[in-house]
Every structure is written in C-alpha cells, then in structure tokens.
Structure 1
Amino acid sequence: MKLSPKSLYSNNKFNYGWMIVFVAALSYFFSAPGQTFFISGFIDIYVKELKWDRTIVSSLYSIATLFSGLFIFSVGQIADRIGTKITMIAVGILLGLVCIWNSFNFSLFSLFIGFAFSRFLGQGSMTLLPSLVLPKWFIKKRAMSFSIMSIGGVIASTLIPIINASLFKIISWREVWRIWGFLVWIIFVPITYFYLFNRPEEIGLLPDNEKRADEHLRSIKFSDKEEYFTPKEAMKTFAFWGMLYCQIILPLITTGLTFHLISIMESKNMTSGNAAMILSFFSMVSFPVTLISGKFMDGVKQHHVAAVISMIELAALLVLFFTDSLPMAIVFAVLHGTATGLQSINNGVVWSNYFGTLYLGSIRGISMVGNVISSAVGPLPFGILFMKFGNYNAVLLLMMVLPVIGFLIALFSKKPNAPKRYSVV
C-alpha cells in the first residue's frame, strides 16, 4: 500500500480516520517542549549554570503558565474559523521557533518569554488542537481514537526525560533545545501538512468510515446535523462547570508533584534517582491504562468515569502521605498513573459527547483555560507550605480535599439535554 494521502483514503479496506489519529498522536508527542516533564529537566541547569534563584525560576514558570492559559481559548476559536489543519501547522512552526529561542536563554526575561510560549504552544495548543479534529472523524469509536492518540503523550513523557538526560551528558543544554526545534519542523509540520484533513467530508468520507459519501457531501459538514450547544449555552449547564472542575484537579496536583518530586522524595529519605524512576513510572502505568480504557469507555457515562478518577487520585495521595519506602512510592505511582491514564481519555471525549462538535474548539478552549491555570497554580502551594512547615504533609492533606469534592460533583454532572431546536442525527 502506498503511503500517499490519496491512496490511503481511497482504499476501501483502510479507515483513513486512523491516519488522523496518528497525526494527532504525533501532535501530543511533540507537545513535549511545553510540558513540565520536559522543562523540569532544565530547571537545575538554569539554577546551577546560570546561577538563577530556584524560587524565582519556579515563580516565573507558574506566572508564564498562567499567562499562557488566559489566552489558550483563542486557539480553539481560530481553529473553529480557519480549520484545525492550518492552525496546527502554524503552531508547529512557532513551537520550533520557541525551542530555538529557549536555546539562547541569557536573562530571566528571556526565560519568562520562553516559558510562556512553550506552555502556550506546546502544553496548550499542541494538545488542544488534535482533540478538536478526532470527534469529527469518529463517533462510535471516539473514546478508542482518543485512547490511541494519547499514547503519543505517554511515549513522550516516558522516553523524553531519559533521552534529554542522556543528551545533557554529550552536548550542551542549548543544543538540546535546538534539536527539538528542528525535529518539530522536519517531522511534525510536513506530516500534518500532507496527511491531516479537518473532517472526513473533505475527502468524500463519513465519520467512522461507515460508507463513502456522495460528491456533494464534500461541502456539507456532518456536524451540522448534530445536536450541539453554543459556548454560552454550554456554560449555562451545571455539567459544564462540574466536568471542568473534575478536569482541573489532576493537572493541578500532577504539576505540583512533578515540579517538586525530587524534593518530595528526598523528604521521605529517597534519592533523586528514585524520583526520576517514579516520574517515568507514572507514564509507564498510564500507557496500558490509556490504551485499554478506550475499549470500554465508549459505553460508560463520562460523569461516572470522572467520579472513579477522583477516588483513585485520593487513594494515590493517601499512599504518598504515608510513603516511607520505595515500594510504597511505586504503589503511589501506579495509582496516580492510572488516574492520569483514565483522565486523558475522559477529558478528550466528554466535551464532544456532551456539547457536540460544531463549537467544540471554543468550548474545549474554555476548558483548556482552566486546565492550564490549574497547572500554573499547582507548584505554588507545594512550595509555600513546604517553606512554612518544612515538609509536604500539609499540602498533601490539602490536595486530598480536591478529589473528594470532585467525586461529589461528578455524580451530579450528567450529560445535559441539547436545546430542543436542534435535531438528532
């Protein structure tokens, strides 16, 4: 089989939607330069080599993340207007430029700019955009498609910290940033240009590849026949705010834990090497959970999944609170990785399943603001309460309250009924 786009989507035996999933997974993988697991590898270098204060660097990172989060909704709006494909290509080009910028860090101001745009383009845009295109290609296997797409992020968070640590031993940190910038340009951008299509109707197909569309369907959006909410209508429902709260809990906790993981492990008489292993273990557990969960989540109600995720994360924090050995730390990693894996799928499908795809970019963009802001806030309570009490017990107890509230809210965040003026497909 030839690998040209036309030969793939014209082949009756091949569902071109899976090629869209591959491009989406690639976007998740190359979101790495804006992710905490990537940037955290540079923090000690900035502190030691450039002699910058750790507290200042941490504060700049949080402020930059917050700054980027306030504008991430605009990316969804742009994608709704000009299409996901063009938006993804533009974001890829800009992310490569930011990687090059980060290789020239020489001041705290340049560091802040690098943090802000890395988070906005990488952690924000490169994970938001693929989640907008998949629901237009899959309906019956929507959760499964998100499950496979998320593997791109799992692979990145598992392998890239190890890869970067190895690169630091043979080349400078500045060259590491440049390598990733060029990889985004020569791999992600061309593949997106040639193989991504905004919706199946553009190439004469229908969602789920059930049958070939007639020629006139190329100009008709399948989502025009869907039940859907406008952003204002979605924001008037309890389900929108309830599921949003359930989604922001884990990024807040995860970013705080990841950013301070070495210190947390050392406070429990473990080494930085143990912390690195636990960090990788998060992803090693998330990988099978992410892959398997998509097979059954299409038949499970989203608010039930959100409630289960909250309880698993509560259990993880309880284990971490009492951790005093590596085996207990591994149990914590298994639980936290399981919650992360389940959430990565639930986050993707809930907005399109609850509110349709016509305004998905705008609605998903609003939810991303909450996710990014929670990521920005995450490291702060860990740092502040550690300085006050000299350990992490207080902040862990505080974090436990969040999933308890999330569990209760999730139970009442059922799928809302669409406005009656819209007809069912």
Structure 2
Amino acid sequence: MKLGERAFAVGTPFQPGRRPVHYGWVIAVVGTLGMVASVPGQTIGVNVFNEKLIEALGLSRLSVSTAYFVGTAASGFLLPFAGSLFDRLGARRMIVGASVSLALSLLYMSVVDRVAAGIEGLSVGSGLSAAIRMGALVLGFFFLRFFGQGLVMMTSRNMVGKWWVAHRGKIFSVGGIAVTVCFSLAPKLFNEMIESFGWRESWRLMALALAPGFCLVAWLLYRDNPAECKLEADAAKPLDAGRADDPEFKLVREFTRAEALRSFSFWAFSLVFALQACYFTGYAFHVIDVAADLGRGASGMLDLFVPIAILNAAVSLVVGWMSDRCRLKYLLAFMALGNALAAFALVGMQGVALSVGLVVGFGVSGGCFGAISGVFMPRFFGLKHLGAISGFFASIIVIGSAVGPLAFSLARGMAGSYAVAHGAAALLALGLVATSFWADNPQRKLAR
C-alpha cells in the first residue's frame, strides 16, 4: 500500500468500529465542526473585510461587489464537478484537501493587494491597473467561495447524511443550531479580530486554525460511510413500525445525477433554496442601505439579526424532528412561505409589523435551511451519487447567493429603492409555495 493510501486507510490511525460509542455520533459532531469551519468562505464571513479591501485595493464599492459576484458565480459553476470528485475520493480525502485549500485562499487574500501591485509593476502602462486589481480580487473571492461555502460545507453535510438515516433530520437540526450560532457570532468576532490584530493578520490566524488545526482533526475523525468501517447507519437501530411501512422512508433505487436533474422535485427544492440564498444574501449585503431606504436606523435593523438567529435555532429543532416523520414537501412549502413573509414585510410593512415580519420570515426560512437541505437528497435520490447530485444543488445555491447582492444594487440603481427587489422576491416565493405541493419523493412512485 502506498504512503498516501495508507494515510487515508479506514484503520489509520484507529479503527472506528472499536470505539465504545457509535461512531455516527462522532461524525455528527465533527461534521458540524466542518460546517462551522466553512464560515471564512461564507458571505457572512467575507463581508466584514469589504471596507479594508476597498481601502487596500483602491476600488469602489461597486467594483468590490462586482468582483464578489463574478468570483462567487464562477465557483458555483464548478461545484458539480467537485461533487462528482467527492463520490470518487470520499469525505476524508476531500475535507483535508478542501480545508488546506481554504487556508491557502485566506493567506492569498491577506496579500491580495500586494499581489495586484506586483503584477501592476510588471505591466506596461497604467491603463490596466484597475483591471489587474479587480482580477486579483475576483480570483481571491473565487477561492474563498469554492473551497469554503462549496467544498468544506458540502463534504461535511454529505458525510453526516451517509451516517444517519432514520434520525437524519434531528441530527442536522441539532447541528444546525451550533452552525447558526457560530455564523451569527462570526461578523462580530471577525470585526474584533480586525480591530485587534489587523485585517491581514486576522485572515492569517484563520488560515492557521484551518491548517493544521481543523485539517488534522478532520484527518483523524472523518470517515466517508459506515459500511467501510463495518458499521451500520443509525447504530443499527431499525425504523419504528409507523415509518417502516411508509414509502416516504424507503429507498427503492439509487438515482444518478442525470436522473435526479430530470425530476420535478429536485428543481422545486433547489429553487426554494436558491431564492432564500439570493434574497437573504442580498438583504444582508445591503442591510444598512436597506434600513436607510426604509427610513429606519441601521443599528435597529442590525439588532434584528439576534432574534432571527434565535428563531432559526428553534425552527431548526422542530423542522428537524418533523422531517424524520412527515413528507418533506410540506416543510418546503413552510420554508418558501417564510421567504415570502420576509419580502412582504420589507415591501409593505412599517414599524413593529416590519420587525416581526422580518424576524419570523427569515427565522422560518433560515431555520428550515439546514435540516431540509441535509435530508432531502439522500432520502429522494440515495447515497451512491450523493456527491454529484449535491454538487449541482450547491452550485445553484452559490450562484443564487452571488446574484442577490448584485440584484439589489441594480434594483436600487434603476428604481431608486429596493422595493422592486422585495416585491419580485415576494411573488417568486409565493409561486414556489404552490409548486412545493407537487414536490413528491420520487421513491414513493417506485415503491408503488
């Protein structure tokens, strides 16, 4: 056995089957840690550094937003190929490669202005100066988003989905609380790091936390699936009698990516998640200007993120428990309704009603996100091609999150306010509420 193969052998450095506790619990914890580790590549972790990038690179706010859009969209288009790679390499190899690559991306971003200056020094004339700085920033955003929001998040979520079946929703919902709390605290923590150490040093500290920090933990504890460890999912506990006979919980056939993409259910789910990513990212990216557009104070709108995070956690627990017991299409409709409520609140409500609508709307849609996204693909399409299918799904979400900030900017520039963006999102969300009721599990038809 070659050295590389030996390093990633199931029994290196220990055999999971010999542990006193079912290894699925270890997977649940370390998989959640992996989702948290993706935060430097998430929108909520990147935006804190925007002001420093504008200053260091001498670019306008619109230029930085455009670079973010291009880099994020480009990363989204490549994620389907990365998903197929996950199916071939497995979670352990993928997470080590992805976490090291994310750490290197953070190191690159800490000197992105110096890289651009070095390239400018080699170029002839000054006409390309702004383009070079934009190009360097696009490359940095591409790396952060591809390896952070893309590979680290997707690999961790897929691994947990393979180890838990009957209790998959509950596991994702409990882990989702930890992820939500950490994501909510990230902007404040990153801002304090910037003020204490500087923006370059903050990115370098995160890189060290990822590699060798998290990378070593992932190499030690990640395992792709229970079968390779000679274990069973869910600690070999059978489904209760009520679910054992329900076609919703029976896997009749493994779907390929092409077959999944031809199903109505895949697109119904994907579009609800894409709209949530698009709209919430656009709102969060422009929240201070949105507040001014509504005639409200910025601090008051920012304070709403706290109750939104609290409601996210509560909804995540309830939806996770329900997802293990009911048809997912009803929970999808509930998520889409949350999107609609938040958008309607911003376009047509004032005062306390606006605050309540925002908190409930974003709290519901965000709380549904983690549990449903982790459950529906393994249940609907199986595990054999999960990486390829989830890679395409992640691509749609990442591209949606890239479109959001730019769509908000265009709405503001063309109409003079964000009302058009809010109204369009509200109508789209209502349409997706209706389509959700036809998003049946394709395994049900095969079972019949």
Q: Does the TM-score normalized on the shorter chain lie above 0.5?
A: yes
One of 200, 204, 208 as aligned partner of 1:182: 208
CA distance in 2 between partners of 1:43 and 1:326 (Å): 31
1:400 correspondence with 2:426: yes
1:350 correspondence with 2:383: no
CA distance in 2 between partners of 1:241 and 1:50 (Å): 39
Where structure 1 has 5 or more consecutive residues not aligned to the other structure, the ranges are 212-224
Q: 1:163 to 1:327 in 2, by over 3 A?
A: farther
1:151 correspondence with 2:158: no
CA distance in 1 between partners of 2:425 and 2:160 (Å): 33
CA distance in 2 between partners of 1:327 and 1:5 (Å): 56
Counterpart AA for 2:85: I
**Contact residue 274 and residue 326 of structure 1 kept, 8 A:** no
1:415 alignment counterpart: 441
One of 326, 343, 347 as aligned partner of 1:300: 326
1:102 alignment counterpart: 109
**Contact residue 35 and residue 157 of structure 2 kept, 8 A:** no
One of 211, 221, 231 as aligned partner of 1:205: 231
Counterpart AA for 1:36: T
**Contact residue 167 and residue 176 of structure 1 kept, 8 A:** yes
How many equivalent residue pairs?
A: 406
Within-5 A mapping of 1:255-266: 255-266=281-292
CA distance in 2 between partners of 1:249 and 1:105 (Å): 31
**Contact residue 345 and residue 353 of structure 2 kept, 8 A:** no
| Structure 1 residue 283: Cα displacement | 2.6
Within-5 A mapping of 1:135-150: 135-150=161-176
2:18 alignment counterpart: 10
Q: 1:69-121, CA deviations, whole angstroms, 9 ceiling, x for partnerless residues?
A: 00011221111011111011100000000011111121332211110110101
**Contact residue 163 and residue 226 of structure 2 kept, 8 A:** yes
**Contact residue 28 and residue 153 of structure 1 kept, 8 A:** yes
Within-5 A mapping of 1:249-398: 249-325=275-351, 328-329=354-355, 331-398=357-424
Q: 1:327 to 1:50 in 2, by over 3 A?
A: farther
Q: 1:205-225, CA deviations, whole angstroms, 9 ceiling, x for partnerless residues?
A: 1111127xxxxxxxxxxxxx9
Counterpart AA for 1:58: S
Where structure 2 has 5 or more consecutive residues not aligned to the other structure, the ranges are 1-11, 114-132, 238-250
2:31 alignment counterpart: 24
| Structure 1 residue 226: Cα displacement | 6.0
Query: Once the two structures are aligned, what percentage of the paired residues are identical?
Result: 24
**Contact residue 72 and residue 368 of structure 1 kept, 8 A:** yes
Q: 1:345 to 1:298 in 2, by over 3 A?
A: same
- Taking only aligned residues, the RMSD between alpha carbons, in angstroms, comes to 2.3
1:90 correspondence with 2:82: no
One of 108, 116, 133 as aligned partner of 2:159: 133
Q: 1:108-135, CA deviations, whole angstroms, 9 ceiling, x for partnerless residues?
A: 3221111011010111111111222122
Q: TM-score, normalised by structure 2?
A: 0.85
**Contact residue 252 and residue 443 of structure 2 kept, 8 A:** no
CA distance in 1 between partners of 2:353 and 2:269 (Å): 33
Within-5 A mapping of 1:37-52: 37-52=44-59
2:130 alignment counterpart: none
CA distance in 2 between partners of 1:236 and 1:267 (Å): 42
